[in-house]
Chain A
Amino acid sequence: KAGVTQTPRYLIKTRGQQVTLSCSPISGHRSVSWYQQTPGQGLQFLFEYFSETQRNKGNFPGRFSGRQFSNSRSEMNVSTLELGDSALYLCASRVTGGSETQYFGPGTRLLVL
Chain B
Amino acid sequence: EDQVTQSPEALRLQEGESSSLNCSYTVSGLRGLFWYRQDPGKGPEFLFTLYSAGEEKEKERLKATLTKKESFLHITAPKPEDSATYLCAVQADHQAGTALIFGKGTTLSVSS
Residues of chain A touching chain B, judged by Cβ–Cβ distance below 8 Å, are: 4, 31, 33, 35, 42-45, 48, 50, 55-56, 58, 90, 92, 94, 99-107, 109
> Which residues in B have their C-beta under 8 angstroms from that of A4?
43
Pair B97/A50 contact, Cβ less than 8 Å = yes
* 4 other A-B residue contacts (CB within 8 Å) besides A4-B43, A43-B44: A45-B100, A48-B99, A100-B49, A100-B98
- CB proximity of B76 to chain A, nearest CB, Å: 23
- CB proximity of B25 to chain A, nearest CB, Å: 14
Q: Of the 9-residue stretches B10-18, B67-75, B101-109, which lies at the interface with chain A?
A: B101-109
Q: Which residue of A lies closest to B91 (CB)?
A: A100
Residues of chain B touching chain A, judged by Cβ–Cβ distance below 8 Å, are: 31-32, 34, 36, 41-46, 49, 87, 89, 91, 95-105
Pair B36/A100 contact, Cβ less than 8 Å = no
Name the one of B98, B104, B105 contacting A102, with C-beta atoms under 8 angstroms: B98
**Given A104-B36, A104-B44, A107-B43, A42:B98 Cβ within 8 A:** no
Pair A56/B43 contact, Cβ less than 8 Å = no
Pair B99/A42 contact, Cβ less than 8 Å = no
Q: Which residue of A lies closest to B36 (CB)?
A: A104
Q: Which residue of B lies closest to A39 (CB)?
A: B104
Pair B96/A107 contact, Cβ less than 8 Å = no
Name the one of A35, A101, A109 contacting B49, with C-beta atoms under 8 angstroms: A101
Pair B44/A42 contact, Cβ less than 8 Å = no
Pair A45/B96 contact, Cβ less than 8 Å = no
